């Protein structure tokens, strides 16, 4: 894998309309790790793609009635098999963090890259996901000079009390070990 023109290749790129220009395009200085499963606690369907492209059918599952209207996205998704997809170019603002704050700065979407892991608070992430995540973070660190390993956080860190992901099953020490060994 490599990054070319703010696109991670050769992974699949599915264009999300849920993005816009960053206020300061050169200020990419935070990585926010999320978790997502649609329907909740189920894995492997293409509902995440549908959510991020505003095509989620509210009749497909009772939970979807609550979320089909949302306009959200992330830069990347890493599924349970450790395969990545990109939805938003890195130099654009994805709509992933919502009301958020990091190191005294509000609106984390302005300066962050959002990475979704297919998962939930109560399920361990797969080894394939950790290895893919570490590889992608290594590429991001090399490409965007304001990023650092000290500025990798969970959604729960930038939206405490509102969000819990990536949850207690996410192994931060394992990720740090993989990043140190790259």
Catalytic residues: 116
Q: Which of 110, 112, 96, 100 has the alpha carbon at shortest distance from 18? A: 96
Tokens, residue 63? 């939970």
3-class DSSP state for residue 9?
strand
Q: Is the dihedral of CA 72, 78, 49, 93 positive or negative?
A: positive
Please name the residues in contact with 14: beta carbons below 8 A apart, sequence gap of 6 or more.
49, 52, 53, 85, 86, 87
Tokens, residue 174? 């394992």
Q: Which of 157, 123, 153 has the alpha carbon at shortest distance from 137? A: 153
CA distance 30 to 22: 13
Residues in the chain: 182
């Amino acid at each position: 894998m490599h990054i070319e023109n703010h696109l991670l290749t050769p992974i699949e790129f599915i264009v999300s309309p849920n993005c816009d220009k960053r206020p300061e395009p050169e200020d990419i200085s935070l990585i926010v790790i999320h978790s997502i499963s649609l329907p909740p606690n189920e894995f492997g369907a293409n509902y995440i793609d549908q959510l991020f492209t505003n095509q989620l059918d509210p009749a497909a599952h009772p939970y979807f009635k609550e979320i089909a209207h949302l306009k959200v996205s992330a830069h990347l998704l890493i599924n349970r098999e450790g395969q990545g997809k990109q939805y938003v170019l890195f130099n654009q603002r994805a709509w992933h963090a919502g009301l958020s704050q990091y190191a005294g700065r509000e609106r984390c979407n302005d300066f962050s890259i959002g990475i979704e892991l297919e998962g939930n608070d109560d399920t361990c992430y797969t080894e394939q996901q950790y290895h893919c995540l570490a590889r992608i973070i290594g590429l991001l660190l090399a490409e965007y000079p304001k990023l650092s390993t000290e500025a990798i956080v969970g959604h729960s860190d930038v939206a405490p009390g509102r969000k819990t992901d990536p949850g207690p099953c996410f192994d931060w020490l394992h990720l740090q070990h993989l990043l140190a060994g790259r």
